[in-house]
Amino acid sequence: MASTLLHLSVLAFFPALMALSASMDLLTYTIPNRICVSLALGYLALAAPLGVPAADMLLNISCACAILAIAFVMFNLGWVGGGDAKLAAATALWLGWSSILDYGVTAAIYGGILTLIILSARMAPLPAALGRLAWVARLHNGRAGVPYGIALAAAGLAQYPGSSIWAAAGA
């Protein structure tokens, strides 16, 4: 029973926090630190009991650190938000080196599609009823950015089934 609960936790934890991070970014243009910290701590708490080898865990940690460094530079250049940088690093911890390139390419494709959809929607007048919703008005604002956390979360979910922790959960 405890083993089944552990396996179910691994299968649900990451997707739930990815969905939460995407939702928060859509609604508020922020990804709270507690989500990224929960992702990191959740990986560390779940991987070892599932039997993910320590060497694989250390490699995933090195991947997360490398992505955090790259994303920090991108943040300082104004290319991504701080929450996006932290979310990418936390996601890298779960995916590791074996999936990180696919994650980056998938996130870029999803982000491009998301950007095109938002830019297209901004060309049309916003109906008054929708304009009363703060998050819709913010999305429609041409000076606002794109909630890229949505693309990062979707890409993470797309790559998750190929991760070592997913395999360890026996999915």
Q: Please, are residues 94 and 35 in contact by the beta-carbon 8 Å criterion?
A: no
Q: Which amino acid appears at position 100 of this protein? A: I
Tokens found for residue 101: 């390139």
Give the Cα separation of 79 and 26 in Å (integer). Answer: 18
Give the Cα separation of 74 and 70 in Å (integer). Answer: 6
Section 102-129 average pLDDT: 94
Quote the pTM value: 0.92
Section 74-98 average pLDDT: 95
- What does the pLDDT read at residue 69? 97
Give the Cα separation of 75 and 109 in Å (integer). Answer: 19
82 vs 5, residue with greater confidence? 82
Break the chain into its structural domains and give their ranges: 2-168
Helices (H), 124-163: 128-131, 134-140, 149-159
Give the Cα separation of 142 and 81 in Å (integer). Answer: 17
- What does the pLDDT read at residue 128? 86
pLDDT in tens, 4-43: 777 777 789 999 999 999 999 999 999 999 999 999 999 9
> Of 105, 118, 86, which Cα lies nearest the Cα of 158?
105
pLDDT at 3 > cutoff 80: no
pLDDT at 171 > cutoff 80: no
Q: What is the DSSP letter of 96?
A: -
- What does the pLDDT read at residue 7? 74
